[in-house]
Amino acid sequence: MPTCRELRFTGSVQGVGFRWTAKRLADRLGLEGWVRNNRDGSVTLAASGREQSILELVAGLDAEFGPYIAGVESRDAGPEGLSGSFDILR
């Protein structure tokens, strides 16, 4: 059964390629979901798939953007809004 997580990244995570990198990593890991910028400067990401793949996605984002990430909030989420692919929302 797939795991669904919603993560909110804070810090200087907009304007640095965060969403495009998240999509590239999620596609490579076979995850579905979405990523979007928020008005407060944070980025929210929803991912569904193997729990290990979601952990690898977060690790990859941390490896790429660690200095830009001030914090990460994570919560269980449902499959609402998932399209079968990983999308960048505007």
What integer pLDDT is reported at residue 67 of this predicted model?
Answer: 97
What integer pLDDT is reported at residue 45 of this predicted model?
Answer: 97
Residue 42 has pLDDT above 80, yes or no: yes
What integer pLDDT is reported at residue 46 of this predicted model?
Answer: 95
- What are the extents of the domains in the chain? 3-78
pLDDT class of 81 with cuts at 50, 70, 90: low
Assign 10 to helix, strand or coil.
strand
Residue 77: CB partners within 8 Å, gap ≥ 6?
4, 5, 6, 46
Tokens 């798939």 sit on residue: 49
Which residues are the active-site residues?
19, 37
Q: What confidence tens digit (pLDDT) does each residue in 17-27 have?
A: 999 999 999 99
Average pLDDT over residues 40-56: 97
Looking at CATH, the fold of the domain delimited by 3-78 is given as Alpha-Beta Plaits (3.30.70)
